[in-house]
Structure 1
Amino acid sequence: MKRSGPLCANGAEYLYTDDDDYLWKTGGSNMIAEYRKMWEARNWLKKNEPFLPTWQAYVGYRLDLFHKLAGGATLESLAENYGYEETLLSSWADTGIVLGHLKQDGGRLVPSKKMLKFFSQESDHSVGELLKELFEMHMPSLMNYPQMITSNQKGRFNGEDFGKTVAATSALIEKKAFGHVLSEINAQKPRWVLDIGCGTGGYLIKLADKIKQGTFVGVDISKECIEEARQKVRKKSLGEKVKFYYADINTWEVPSRFFDVIMMNNLLHYYSQDARKELLARVSKLISQNGTVIMITPLYLERGGQRFSAAFNSFMEAHENLYPLPRKDELIRDAEEAGLQLKSIKTVVREGSWYCVNFSKK
């Protein structure tokens, strides 16, 4: 027989049976503690459910499984054609069916249009590199925190290993930020534009397509990124208008001219605060009078993007050669010391704490 009775002083009730009477009379406080423990564990399990779709999409992107299933295929044929372990493949497929990423058509599996569009390596709309960065860069570092804390030893970030991945994920932000950049550069009417840390050249090539006048120069320390950027330029026949250099901005022999616009996008976490001050001072020397400095960057603990910037900083702090994001007031102060005055701050992705920060030379 089930009865109700008071659980605690606040009037909440607990339904219990005759079998519970002894436990309730002799160990009620322990029973409450166990119930709360179970409830807390259940809550944490539920909090982690959103991880499953991300994992399933990552595996599908990494092995290009959605593309391989595009016309419909059986698990057996997929395993045989590519030498995959079939039980693991089956588990991945079952998860995809539960999530709606895949559907069954007779004995074949078919990906949803959404997964095919956004998680196929061949798709121009793919966001798979974002998941690759999450699973292969960020999560291993965050999972290694206990060992790093106890050993007092951080890791080292190898930009050559993940240069293209970082460039690809930066390109996703670029799509959102490009309007801000284009508007600022159109207002400036520059003759020379410099992009420090240009990656594979996305900003400069798009700007060169939109703006008829001017020369666009990109510098990056990733040889792989610069080679890809140069290939893009050759395909678009922009060789006279867009130039890329494999170099470190700190040691690069800059052409003997001032730049009217200097861009530094997704770059600040590669510089300690002292090095950031030196970079800003160098930029101030390279920029023409009344020139503009454009930064697309996350800012630490800004309203609306606190969770992202906290996670991003945790990743940065896990590496001895990466550095935490600046707070807004820190960046403004360092820029002012270098002779750069804040013009504007515009939101790019608020929940990601991404902003377009513009400075002019004093």
Structure 2
Amino acid sequence: MTTTQLTTTQLTTTINPAEIEAFAGRVTADTSAWMVTTMAMIGDRLGLWQVFADGAARTTAEFAGQAGISRRYAQEWLSSMASHGYLTYDPATGGFALPAAAVPVLAADSPVYFGGLHQALYGLTAVLDRITDAFRHGNGVPMSEYGDDWWEGLERFTGGAFDHLLPQQWLPAMPAVQRRLEAGAAVADVGCGRGRALIVLAQHFPQSRFTGFDIHPESIAAARQAAAEAGVSDRVVFECLDAAAGLPGTYDVITTFDVIHDAAEPDRLLRAIRAALRTDGRYVCVDINASHELPANAGPLGAYFYGISVLYCLSTSLAQHGAGLGTCGFNEHTARLMCAAAGFGEVRRTEIDNPFNIVYEVSA
């Protein structure tokens, strides 16, 4: 009898019960984490975390009144968050509070704010049926199938890096790029999404001019509106374009932010970027901080990367009959090989310590 033919009773008697119990406990904890993330997303959607941003403790009644929600639902939500340790609870006073270290993560505009990611992950649930079908047939899910929660949440999450890291840490680590932007550069952002990166750059570098390209029409429409609202439409424009087919014009600086690993034709896209980069130009490539070797990616963050690959990165590439690199597919090892094949010069990994991303400065 093979292992696959063993009955449940026979199987459990051949394994140490303590090991089964330990693994069941781990799965229970992981399942609880999904529930906690869902509750945190509800808190973000209703603005509940912001009620606690001042650090003060509140009873259920006080919290419900300030948040404008039902007291009974407030009690259950508070209890869930306190049970997981996101909130503290004082039995003597009945007061709940958000620890100071949790405020930038859950309740404030910061580079480590997770509210946008929670919204984005919730948005992915809408495509689960399509994803499971793709498992059977090897196809993908096109971008048009993903709803507003995914796109809006993704913008909010990545916006923390653009607002708080791009001008303050990433660009100072690339002095040659920063000098060009200060003097006045022609800049293109390939896979610009809703335009947050270029809008931030335009606000910091008024002498430069910026063009964003993306294949997703809804994102381009949102980017144009955001640029108008930010008052930078005079120096930032957005075009719906498949950049792999070639970029119009040439540029001093070209950027991609978590784009190459998603691309249907990453080799062709890199060649197009190289062709559009001026002789002394710079390509700023931000992509996933992962290894080409699976054991080096072991752990919670690696599991997240591979999961988001299944739910979006891999699937949208395969939907275009693409390469399907996946979230971890444009790691440092692969990035160096592919950039060299595309005709770039030096690929320099900047001294940026970020768990999610590697920032490369690539010469023409």
With structure 1 as the length reference, what TM-score do the two structures score? 0.70
SS at match of 2:355: helix
Structure 2 match to 1:19:
none
Aligned equivalents of 1:87, 1:151: Cα separation in 2: 46
- The one-letter amino acid of 1:358's match is E
Q: Tell me the alpha carbon deviations over residues 94-123 of structure 1, each in whole angstroms, 9 at most, x when there is no partner.
A: 122332515469567555555555434xx4
The counterpart of 1:203, out of the listed 197, 202, 210, is 197
Aligned equivalents of 1:148, 1:217: Cα separation in 2: 34
The counterpart of 2:361, out of the listed 355, 358, 361, is 358
Aligned equivalents of 2:63, 2:179: Cα separation in 1: 57
Structure 1 match to 2:276:
286
Structure 1 match to 2:4:
none
Aligned equivalents of 1:333, 1:32: Cα separation in 2: 45
The alignment covers a number of residue pairs equal to 322
SS at match of 2:241: coil
- Any conservation in 2 of the 1:262–1:287 contact (CA below 8 Å)? yes
Structure 2 match to 1:244:
237
Q: Tell me the alpha carbon deviations over residues 1-24 of structure 1, each in whole angstroms, 9 at most, x when there is no partner.
A: xxxxxxxxxxxxxxxxxxxxxxxx
After TM superposition, the structure 1 = structure 2 runs for residues 92-103 of structure 1, keeping only pairs within 5 Å, are 92-98=77-83, 99-101=85-87, 103=89
Structure 1 match to 2:309:
313
Aligned equivalents of 1:95, 1:225: Cα separation in 2: 35
Aligned equivalents of 2:246, 2:132: Cα separation in 1: 43
Q: Tell me the alpha carbon deviations over residues 22-75 of structure 1, each in whole angstroms, 9 at most, x when there is no partner.
A: xxxxxxx95974444334323443555555654432221122223357785645
The counterpart of 2:350, out of the listed 346, 349, 354, is 346
Structure showing the higher strand proportion among its residues = 1
Structure 2 match to 1:277:
267
Aligned equivalents of 2:347, 2:178: Cα separation in 1: 15
Structure 2 match to 1:21:
none
With structure 2 as the length reference, what TM-score do the two structures score? 0.70
CA RMSD of the aligned region, Å? 4.0
- Shift in alpha-carbon separation, 1:92–1:201, aligned structure 2, 3 A: same
Aligned equivalents of 1:312, 1:59: Cα separation in 2: 21
- The one-letter amino acid of 1:185's match is V
After TM superposition, the structure 1 = structure 2 runs for residues 255-266 of structure 1, keeping only pairs within 5 Å, are 257-266=249-258
Aligned equivalents of 1:226, 1:331: Cα separation in 2: 28
- Shift in alpha-carbon separation, 1:145–1:202, aligned structure 2, 3 A: closer
Structure 2 match to 1:170:
158
The counterpart of 1:127, out of the listed 114, 129, 132, is 114
- Shift in alpha-carbon separation, 1:77–1:49, aligned structure 2, 3 A: closer
Aligned equivalents of 1:263, 1:109: Cα separation in 2: 44
Gaps of 5+ in 1: 1-28
Q: Tell me the alpha carbon deviations over residues 287-338 of structure 1, each in whole angstroms, 9 at most, x when there is no partner.
A: 1112111111115535765515433433333444373132434333333333
- The one-letter amino acid of 2:336's match is I
Q: Tell me the alpha carbon deviations over residues 200-229 of structure 1, each in whole angstroms, 9 at most, x when there is no partner.
A: 444334434444533233334413431343
The offset of 1:243, in angstroms, is 1.4
After TM superposition, the structure 1 = structure 2 runs for residues 7-156 of structure 1, keeping only pairs within 5 Å, are 30=13, 33-46=16-29, 53-67=36-50, 72=58, 74-75=60-61, 78=64, 84=70, 88-98=73-83, 99-101=85-87, 103=89, 111-112=98-99, 118-120=105-107, 123-125=108-110, 126-137=113-124, 148-150=134-136, 154-156=140-142
Gaps of 5+ in 2: 1-11
- Any conservation in 1 of the 2:336–2:347 contact (CA below 8 Å)? no
- Any conservation in 1 of the 2:244–2:272 contact (CA below 8 Å)? no
Structure 2 match to 1:229:
226
The offset of 1:344, in angstroms, is 0.4
- The one-letter amino acid of 1:149's match is F
